[in-house]
């Protein structure tokens, strides 16, 4: 929303001319995340795992008995994507899915012994990557940096009101389009 952004910058032209992608906070954070993610993904390849799969294993190693939604919040993986990942990890014998007694709709997700063993191999690799990335910082600087990143993540909640109306509008307009034909087994229609 340009109007809201303009209110935050009294001289819009000054904001625009002062802006530099290569020094913007989101760019710098993303650049670090993409680089470490790409390198770590290469280390995961021999285990036939993707970075999101690793995140699921590490999250379950940290906290067992997670529901899909909680696991999604912890890993920042969208729930439908996460459901497929958990299914794949389940087929490989790395996680278990158990219905919660008294609530058949809720599934508790846990590491299997095999999944825990793999997580315990991979977590030291992740720790190594983190240590290399931050080795020039003191422990207090590292604590402050991590605290600041968690705070920035929470600050982004303030943008929800700006971005959700657009998302809701897109959803509503897509419902106005011609309805999709249902996919039937053996049909040539894509799912």
Name the percent of the chain lying above pLDDT 70: 77
Residue 115 has pLDDT above 50, yes or no: yes
Name the helix (H) or strand (E) containing 107.
strand 103-111
Distance, in Å, from the CA atom of 112 to the CA atom of 98, rounded to the nearest integer, reads 12
Question: What is the pLDDT averaged over residues 49-61?
Answer: 97
Q: What is the mean pLDDT of the chain?
A: 84
Question: What is the pLDDT averaged over residues 111-130?
Answer: 97
Distance, in Å, from the CA atom of 21 to the CA atom of 137, rounded to the nearest integer, reads 25
The dihedral sign for the CA sequence 129, 154, 1, 8: negative
Confidence band for 126, pLDDT divided at 50, 70 and 90? very high
- Domain assignments of the chain as residue spans, ordered by start: 2-160
pLDDT at residue number 176: 41
Question: What is the pLDDT averaged over residues 43-65?
Answer: 97
* pTM of the full structure: 0.76
> Each residue of 67-82: pLDDT tens digit?
999 999 999 999 999 9
Distance, in Å, from the CA atom of 121 to the CA atom of 115, rounded to the nearest integer, reads 10
> Each residue of 137-153: pLDDT tens digit?
999 999 999 999 999 99
Residue 187 has pLDDT above 80, yes or no: no
* The CATH number of the domain covering residues in 2-160: 1.10.10.10
Question: What is the pLDDT averaged over residues 102-121?
Answer: 93
Confidence band for 13, pLDDT divided at 50, 70 and 90? low
> Each residue of 147-174: pLDDT tens digit?
999 999 999 999 888 887 755 554 444 4
């Amino acid at each position: 929303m340009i109007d809201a952004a303009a209110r935050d910058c009294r001289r819009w032209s000054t904001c625009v001319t002062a802006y530099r992608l290569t020094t913007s906070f989101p760019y710098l954070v993303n650049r670090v995340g993409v680089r470490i993610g790409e390198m770590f993904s290469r280390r995961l390849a021999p285990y036939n795992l993707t970075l999101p799969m690793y995140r699921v294993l590490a999250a379950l190693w940290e906290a067992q008995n997670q529901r899909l939604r909680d696991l999604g919040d912890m890993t920042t993986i969208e729930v439908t994507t996460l459901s497929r990942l958990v299914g794949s990890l389940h087929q490989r014998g790395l996680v278990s899915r158990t219905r919660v007694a008294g609530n058949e709709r809720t599934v508790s997700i846990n590491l299997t012994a095999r999944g825990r063993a793999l997580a315990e191999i991979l977590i030291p690799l992740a720790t190594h990557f983190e240590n290399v990335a931050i080795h020039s910082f003191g422990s207090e600087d590292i604590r402050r940096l991590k605290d600041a990143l968690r705070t920035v993540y929470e600050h982004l909640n303030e943008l929800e009101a700006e971005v959700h109306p657009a998302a809701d509008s897109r959803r509503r307009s897509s419902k106005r389009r011609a309805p999709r034909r249902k996919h039937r087994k053996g049909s040539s229609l894509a799912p």
